[in-house]
Structure 1
Amino acid sequence: MSEFPHPGPRAASVLSAMALALAGWCAVPAAALAQPAAAGAPQPSDYIVAVVNSEPITNQDVQRRLVRAVQQLRQQGVQAPPHAELVRQVLESLVIEHAQLQQAREQGIKVDDAAVNLGEQNVARQNGIDVPELHRRLAQDGLSPAQFRDEIRNQIMISRLRERELQSRVSVTDAEVEQYLRERASTAPAAQPSEINLAQVLVAVPEGASPQQVAEREARAQEVERRARAGEDFAALARAFSDAPDAAASGGEMGLRSPDRYPELFLQATAQLPAGGVSAPVRSGAGFHVLKVVEKRQAGGALQTVTQQHARHILLRVSPQLTEAQARERLAAIKRRIEAGQADFAAMARASSQDGSAAEGGDLGWSNPGQFVPEFEEVLEALRPGEISEPIVSRFGVHLIQLLERRQYRLNPREQREVARAMVRERKMEEAYRAWLQELRANAYVEFREPPQ
Structure 2
Amino acid sequence: MDRIFRILPLLLALLPLAALAQDDASPRQPIDEIVAVVDEEVILRSELEAAITGVVRQVEARGERLPPRSVLEEQVLERLIMNQVQIQRAEQTGIRMSDQDVDRALGDLARQNGLTLTQLRAAIEGDGLSFDEFRQEIRSELTTQALRRRIVDGMDEITDTEIDIMLASDNFRGDEYKLSQILIQVPESAGPDELDEAAARADEAYRELQDGLEFASAAIAYSDAPDALEGGDVGWRNLNALPRQIADVIRDLEPGQYTEPLRIQSGFIIARVDDRRAQREVIVTEYRMRHLMVRPSELLPAEEARELIESLHDRLEAGEDFGEIAREFSDDQGSANLGGMIDWFPEGAYGTGFQNVIDSLAIGQMSEVFQSPQGWHVIRLEDQREADRTVESMRNEAREMIIRQKADDEIERVLRRMRSEAYVDIRL
Normalised to the residue count of structure 1, the TM-score between the two structures is: 0.66
1:318 aligned residue: none
Q: 1:140-179, aligned counterparts within 5 Å?
A: 140-179=126-165
Q: Tell me whether 66-75 or 133-142 shows the greater mean CA deviation.
A: 133-142
1:425 aligned residue: 403
Name structure 1 gaps, 5 residues minimum: 15-37, 311-336, 369-379, 389-399
Query: How far is the alpha carbon of 1:182 from its aligned partner?
Result: 0.8
Report if the CA contact (8 A) 1:170-1:425 is conserved.
no
Q: Which whole-Å deviations, capped at 9, do the CAs of 1:40-86 have from their partners, x for residues lacking one?
A: 45614302221112111111221221121122222222222211111
Q: Work out whether 1:275 is the aligned partner of 2:255.
A: yes
1:63 aligned residue: 49
Q: Give the match's secondary structure for 2:79.
A: helix
Label 1:408 to 1:60 Cα distance change in 2 as closer, same or farther (>3 A). Answer: farther
Aligned residues: 358
Partner Cα separation in structure 1 for residue 308 and residue 151 of structure 2:
39
Q: Work out whether 1:138 is the aligned partner of 2:124.
A: yes
Name structure 2 gaps, 5 residues minimum: 17-23, 288-301, 310-325, 356-372
2:167 aligned residue: 181
Label 1:219 to 1:56 Cα distance change in 2 as closer, same or farther (>3 A). Answer: closer
2:423 aligned residue: 445
Q: Which whole-Å deviations, capped at 9, do the CAs of 1:115-148 have from their partners, x for residues lacking one?
A: 2111111001111111111112223444322112
Partner Cα separation in structure 2 for residue 413 and residue 40 of structure 1:
57
2:352 aligned residue: 385
Q: Work out whether 1:124 is the aligned partner of 2:110.
A: yes
1:305 aligned residue: 282
Q: Give the match's secondary structure for 1:49.
A: strand
2:271 aligned residue: 291
Q: Work out whether 1:82 is the aligned partner of 2:68.
A: yes
Q: Work out whether 1:233 is the aligned partner of 2:214.
A: yes
Report if the CA contact (8 A) 1:49-1:449 is conserved.
yes
Normalised to the residue count of structure 2, the TM-score between the two structures is: 0.69
The one-letter code of the counterpart of 1:108 is: G
Partner Cα separation in structure 1 for residue 48 and residue 389 of structure 2:
50
Label 1:5 to 1:199 Cα distance change in 2 as closer, same or farther (>3 A). Answer: closer
Report if the CA contact (8 A) 1:50-1:446 is conserved.
yes
Query: How far is the alpha carbon of 1:13 from its aligned partner?
Result: 4.4
The one-letter code of the counterpart of 1:426 is: R
Query: How far is the alpha carbon of 1:292 from its aligned partner?
Result: 1.8
Query: How far is the alpha carbon of 1:413 from its aligned partner?
Result: 5.2
Partner Cα separation in structure 1 for residue 397 and residue 8 of structure 2:
25
Q: 1:96-107, aligned counterparts within 5 Å?
A: 96-107=82-93
1:6 aligned residue: 8
Report if the CA contact (8 A) 1:166-1:429 is conserved.
yes
**Which is bigger in relative contact order (C-alpha 8 A, separation at least 6)?**
1
Partner Cα separation in structure 1 for residue 172 and residue 245 of structure 2:
21
Q: Percent identity?
A: 31
2:181 aligned residue: 200
Q: Tell me whether 112-121 or 260-269 shows the greater mean CA deviation.
A: 260-269
Report if the CA contact (8 A) 1:5-1:123 is conserved.
no
2:246 aligned residue: 266
